[in-house]
Structures are given as C-alpha cells and as structure tokens.
C-alpha cells in the first residue's frame, strides 16, 4: 500500500490543504464564539454553512456581484443564528435541541434555495474571488478574510456589548445580577457566530466550485477540532501569553493543521469512508492532551510534596 507513496504528491497537495484549512478556520472562529465564549453547544452551524454556500452560489448564478452575494449570505446566517437564539431564550428549548431544530429547518430551506441537492459554480463563467484552480490566490484571499475577521472580533469583544457576551458565557447569573440582559447577549452571540459560519460557507462554495446540501455535514466537529487543536498548540507555544487575539489566530491555525492531517491521511491512501472516524480520533486526542497534561502536573506536584515531607521528617 505504501509503495506508491511519494513525497512530491504530498507536498503538491499541501497548498490546497492550507487554503481549505484557512476557510474552515474562519468557520471555526464562529464556533469559538458559541463554544468557548458563550458556553453554548450550537449545532445549527452544520446547516448554516450549507446555507451560506447555497445563497452565494445562487446569487452569483443569477447575476449578482460576488461581494454582494457574500454579504447577503452572511446576513442570512445572522438570521439563522437569531432563530436559534429565540428558540432557546423565548421558548426555553435547550441549546442542543434549539440548534438541531434550526439545522433541520435549514436543510429544507437550502433545498428550496438551490432548487435541488447541489449547484455548480464555475470560475470560468463567473467572477469569483477564490477558487481551487488558483491556489496561491485562494490562500491570500482566505488569509485576508481571516485577518480582517480576527481584527473585528478583537475590537468587538473589547466593547461594552462584547464584554457583556463574555461575562454571560463565564457566569450568566452574575452577569444578570450586574444588569446584563443575558437573553439578548445569547441571541447576539449566536447571530454573530452563524453569520461568520455562513460567510465561510460562501467562501467554501466558491473554492470547491459548487454548493451541496450535505456540505455542512460534520462542520461542527471540524470546527471543534480546529478550536481544540488551536488551543493546545497555543498553550504549548505561547503559554501564559496566550491572550484573546492569539487564541483567535491559533483557531485558524488549528483549521490549517486539521486539513494538513486530513491531507496526510488521504495521501496514505486510507479509506475515505473512515475519514469521519479519523476526525473523531484526532479531536479525542487533542481533547485528552490538556487533561493528561494537568494530571501529570498534579501527580508531579504530589510526588514533590511527598518527597519534601519525607525529607522534613
């Protein structure tokens, strides 16, 4: 099986993995807002990503400018996030179920938007800003989008409203006691998160040249993988200096690392049917690293205390 493997094939696929990793890293920034800042398990992103791709593709096909299409896709994603927020805050539906309900609804909505299960978008027929046919340009454009989003998020979460969202995620009861409307903060955070995810969906649809009803399936797992990988790498390389903006940067880096690993798996000619299994293993490993590191430090400290006590006696 390994006899036909060449380093040239691996390195030739690497730029494409980086480009796709940055796009999924942008999606992971949206996941980071709900998962880490709000402590909200939002599963609606699987549907929102596909919605962003569907809206972008159909608007471009119907003659609209690609930038306008991306803006509209982002707005639709914001609306989807608001719906999830209202299901949770106004109707009292648990976070996971609220996200699942929005995701299920978006499946039918996406079919209606595209008029079918998928739609093609050729870079030869339309003026796109990103495509897998032009990998260096794709990497540059995706990186610009990632940097701009990180800057805007860093600014926004330093404002009064952004700080209120972070306070809501840290301790909702304390935030409410300080006069913060925690329901509004949850809705705003979900809207922002899903807007970013939909934007990533629009970029991904351009990059791969089509939108598909299943393109968002498993997006939450990939987003969580990018977040967790980024956090582990950030703590390993930066340590205590890992501030908010660096966390956002490492989330995008986590997306890149994830897709490089996926590229290596495909290069090794592993069965593509097992790709989700490999994804689960990767996420489980990176989830376990902080816990195992903490356990090791705790055991080390206990051993030092035991030694010091014996020395004192």
Check if the beta carbon of residue 195 is closer than 8 Å to that of residue 81. Answer: yes
Distance between CA atoms of residues 140 and 163, nearest Å: 31
Question: In this structure, how many other beta carbons lie within 10 angstroms of the beta carbon of residue 77?
Answer: 32
Distance of CA 26 to the CA centre of its chain: 6
Contact 92, 217 (CB under 8 A): no
Say how far residue 114 (Cα) sits from the centre of its chain: 24
User: Is 212 strand, coil or helix?
Assistant: strand
For helices 182-208 and 160-170, give the axis angle rounded to 10 degrees: 100
CATH of span 7-312: 1.10.3470
3-state secondary structure of 62: coil
C-alpha 224: how far from its chain's center? 7
Using CA atoms, how far apart are residues 190 and 206, in angstroms rounded to an integer? 24
Q: Which residue ranges make up each domain of the chain?
A: 7-312
- Residue 155 contacts residue 248 (beta carbons within 8 Å): no
DSSP, res 129: S
Token pair listed for 246:
């660096």
Who's near 57: CB < 8 A, 6+ residues apart? 114, 119, 121, 205, 210, 211
pLDDT in tens, the chain (313 residues): 555 667 777 788 889 999 999 999 999 999 999 999 998 889 999 999 999 999 999 999 999 999 999 999 999 999 999 999 999 999 999 999 999 999 999 999 999 999 999 999 988 899 999 998 899 999 999 999 999 999 999 999 999 999 999 999 999 999 999 999 999 999 999 999 999 999 999 999 999 999 999 999 889 988 988 998 898 889 888 888 889 999 999 999 999 998 888 888 878 777 777 777 877 787 788 778 777 877 777 776 666 666 666 665 5
**Are residues 20 and 207 in contact, defined by beta-carbon separation less than 8 angstroms?**
yes
User: Partners of 211 in the beta sheet?
Assistant: 119
Backbone angles phi, psi at 158, to 5 degrees: -95, -10
Burial 37-55 (b: 16+ CB within 10 A, else e): bbebebbbbbbbbbbbbbb
Both tokens assigned to 224 = 């969580």
């Amino acid at each position: 099986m390994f006899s036909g493997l060449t380093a040239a094939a691996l390195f030739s696929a690497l730029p494409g993995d980086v480009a796709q990793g940055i796009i999924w890293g942008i999606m992971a920034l949206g996941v980071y807002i709900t998962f880490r800042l709000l402590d909200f398990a939002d599963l609606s992103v699987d549907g929102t990503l596909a919605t962003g791709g569907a809206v972008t593709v159909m608007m471009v096909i119907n003659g609209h400018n690609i930038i306008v299409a991306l803006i509209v896709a982002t707005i639709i994603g914001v609306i989807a996030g608001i719906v999830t927020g209202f299901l949770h805050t106004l109707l009292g539906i648990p976070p996971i179920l609220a996200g699942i309900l929005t995701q299920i609804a978006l499946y039918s909505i996406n079919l209606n938007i595209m008029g079918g299960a998928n739609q093609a978008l050729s870079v030869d027929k339309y003026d796109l800003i990103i495509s897998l046919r032009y990998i260096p340009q794709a990497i540059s454009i995706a990186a610009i989008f990632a940097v701009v989003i990180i800057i805007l998020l860093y600014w926004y979460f330093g404002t009064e409203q952004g700080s209120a969202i972070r306070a809501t995620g840290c301790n909702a009861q304390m935030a409410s006691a300080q006069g913060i409307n925690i329901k509004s903060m949850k809705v705003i955070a979900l809207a922002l998160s899903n807007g970013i995810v939909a934007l990533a969906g629009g970029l991904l649809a351009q990059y791969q040249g089509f939108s598909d009803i299943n393109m968002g399936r498993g997006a939450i797992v990939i987003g969580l993988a990018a977040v967790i990988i980024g956090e582990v790498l950030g703590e390993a390389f930066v340590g205590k200096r890992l501030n908010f903006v660096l966390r956002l940067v490492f989330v995008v880096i986590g997306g890149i690392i994830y897709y490089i690993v996926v590229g290596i798996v495909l290069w090794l000619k592993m069965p593509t049917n097992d790709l989700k299994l490999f994804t689960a293993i990767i996420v489980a490993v990176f989830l376990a690293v902080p816990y195992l590191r903490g356990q090791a430090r705790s055991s080390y400290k206990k051993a030092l205390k035991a030694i010091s006590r014996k020395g004192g006696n």
